[in-house]
Amino acid sequence: MRRPGFLLAALLCFSPALLSAAERPNVVIIITDDQRWNALSLAGDPNLKTPHIDRLAKEGIWFKNAFCTTSLCSPSRASILSGLYAHSHKVVNNFTEYPAALPSFPRQLQGAGYETAYIGKWHMGEDNDEPRPGFNHFITHKGQGKYFDTAFNVDGQGAKVFPGYYTHVVTKMALDWINKPRSQPFLLMLGHKAPHSFYTPEPKYAHVFDDVKFGYPPSAFQLDDKPEWFKTRLNTWHGIYGPLFDFRKKFPDSSPEAVKDFDAMTRSYLATLISVDDSVGQLYAALEKSGQLDKTVIIFTTDNGLLNGEHGMVDKRTAHEPSIRVPLIVRYPGLTPADKPKVVEEMILHTDMAPTILELAGALPLPGIHGRSWATLARAGDPTWRRSFHYEYNYEKQFPYTPNVRAVRSDRWKYIHYPPGDGTPDTHLAELYDLQNDPEESKNLIKLPEYEDRLKSLSAELERLLKATGADPDQMPKDEGIKQELPDLKIR
């Protein structure tokens, strides 16, 4: 991909008129970690109540079909910042820093006169809690952080433990910063730890779902027509027969023997999101009280989805719907009046975030990116909007339970390909799904002769999309296979 200096110069010469300071909206982006797209009462969860997040949608826009392009924390966050696929921004695992020289929409807003802040889980650069370019105010921590008593580094002054529950701590930091007097528009990015494992609700919500029976989804055991590695990973960190993030229950006789507890895990996962909903309500109230609510673009999303038992898995990384679909809700009267909420059905990607925010802010666009602004789509519709996109994931040697993944998803079909990446013939069984008639991806159509033409067309579309985003020729790590033994590794 070309991103030469003269392109930026051309943008400076021919860019549209920028908005005045008074016309520029504030931007508040709330990013959760590993939140399923349907883990909202708005999206149909029958048990979880999220009234404050739902309110954003009832006064704004719910993008029902939003997706990440790599279902892994760091690559996905880098795509939000840059508008690029992972193969271009190069953050292809959870241990890589966002490149210091790579443009981002916060840097672009900062250059356009915005005061910018990042508070909470950054998760790019595992052992680095120092400030990053593009932010006037920066608070984060090393690694995953903890649900209680995390050590935060405030503006590079050194790590200090902030007592309390993570969600409350970062929300208070965000409220303190929002309420500061200022004369320029602001960008706030708030990164929650919830609902990332190991799921730990705050005490007052720890037993909200005790009486709810969840159980495994049907697809957890429908593996006969799936690739063999699905079965191999069942007993790993990322499988339903693995440790289940240490959620265990004792037998009634109080013997030391314990069994894994899928329902307890699910209850705790959902309970962490109640605190996030409370946080959204506090931010909404603060903006309303200060008179900034209708002058602010509020975006609620997550880095990637999560498989919770589907296909025998309890992770992300794969191209299946629970892994790649994400919640995306936007409230901003400049897109749609609060009394005229919308539901957008078109497919939105994380790579679209940066160009949209910059357009709404009247700032210069980022050159050479893969995403496109959905501002026009949200306001009036867009007949030219994408009908398909490709998904990519690169095999991680540290977490070898998922092979290389390349997939194409259209508004109806999905083809998932598992290239070995080492020059040997492809021995992995692929997957083909009709999402219209099989939204749960329970029946793999890949071997049925009547879908041969469909498979050829989707293979061609995947090749086209890879070329269009500069991913051809593809560079993938060598796939060492899915290991039978469970390594002593930290979870990502």
Question: What is the Cα–Cα distance from 415 to 453, expressed in whole angstroms?
Answer: 12
For residue 150, the SS3 value is strand
pLDDT value of position 17:
42
Question: What is the Cα–Cα distance from 318 to 306, expressed in whole angstroms?
Answer: 9
Question: What is the Cα–Cα distance from 319 to 301, expressed in whole angstroms?
Answer: 18
Question: What is the Cα–Cα distance from 246 to 268, expressed in whole angstroms?
Answer: 12
> Do 396 and 437 touch, CB atoms closer than 8 A?
no
User: What is the 8-class DSSP label of residue 24?
Assistant: P
pLDDT value of position 252:
57
**Between helices 262-289 and 51-58, what is the axis angle to 10°?**
50
| CB atoms inside a 10 Å sphere around CB 464 | 14
Nearest to 345 by CA among 321, 319, 377: 377
Question: What is the Cα–Cα distance from 277 to 286, expressed in whole angstroms?
Answer: 14
> Do 187 and 171 touch, CB atoms closer than 8 A?
no
| CB atoms inside a 10 Å sphere around CB 453 | 9
Token look-up 């497919």 returns 347
Nearest to 69 by CA among 304, 380, 295: 304
Joined tokens for residue 310? 């589907």
Kind plus residue range of the DSSP H or E element containing 230: helix 228-232
Q: How far, in Å, are 37, 77, 136, 353, 385 from residue 375 at the CA level?
A: 21, 21, 27, 10, 12
Nearest to 447 by CA among 219, 227, 220: 227
pLDDT value of position 481:
64
Kind plus residue range of the DSSP H or E element containing 118: strand 115-120
For residue 394, the SS3 value is coil
Joined tokens for residue 383? 């007949």
For residue 441, the SS3 value is coil
What is the C-alpha R_g of the chain? 22
| CB atoms inside a 10 Å sphere around CB 83 | 31
User: What is the 8-class DSSP label of residue 221?
Assistant: G
Nearest to 278 by CA among 210, 178, 177, 194: 194
Strand 61-67, strand 342-349: pairing: parallel
Question: What is the Cα–Cα distance from 162 to 144, expressed in whole angstroms?
Answer: 15
Question: What is the Cα–Cα distance from 314 to 222, expressed in whole angstroms?
Answer: 15
Question: b or e along 414-442 (b: 16 or more beta carbons within 10 Å of the residue's beta carbon)?
Answer: bbbbbbbbeeeeeebbbbbbeeeeeebbe
User: What is the 8-class DSSP label of residue 358?
Assistant: H
Query: 438: Cβ–Cβ under 8 A, 6 or more apart, which residues?
Result: none
pLDDT value of position 483:
56
Q: What is the pLDDT along the chain (492 residues), one digit of tens a residue?
A: 334 333 333 333 334 445 776 789 999 999 999 999 999 999 999 999 999 999 999 999 999 999 999 999 999 999 999 999 999 999 999 999 999 999 999 999 999 999 999 999 999 998 999 999 999 999 999 999 999 999 999 999 999 999 999 999 999 999 999 999 999 999 999 999 999 999 999 999 999 999 999 999 999 999 999 999 999 899 999 999 999 999 987 655 555 556 789 999 999 999 999 999 999 999 999 999 999 999 999 999 999 999 999 999 999 999 999 999 999 999 999 999 999 999 999 999 999 999 999 999 999 999 999 999 999 999 999 999 999 999 999 999 888 899 999 999 999 999 999 988 776 666 568 999 999 999 999 999 999 999 999 999 999 999 999 999 999 888 888 887 665 433 443 333
Alpha helices in 100-207 (DSSP H): 105-111, 166-178
Question: What is the Cα–Cα distance from 302 to 325, expressed in whole angstroms?
Answer: 10
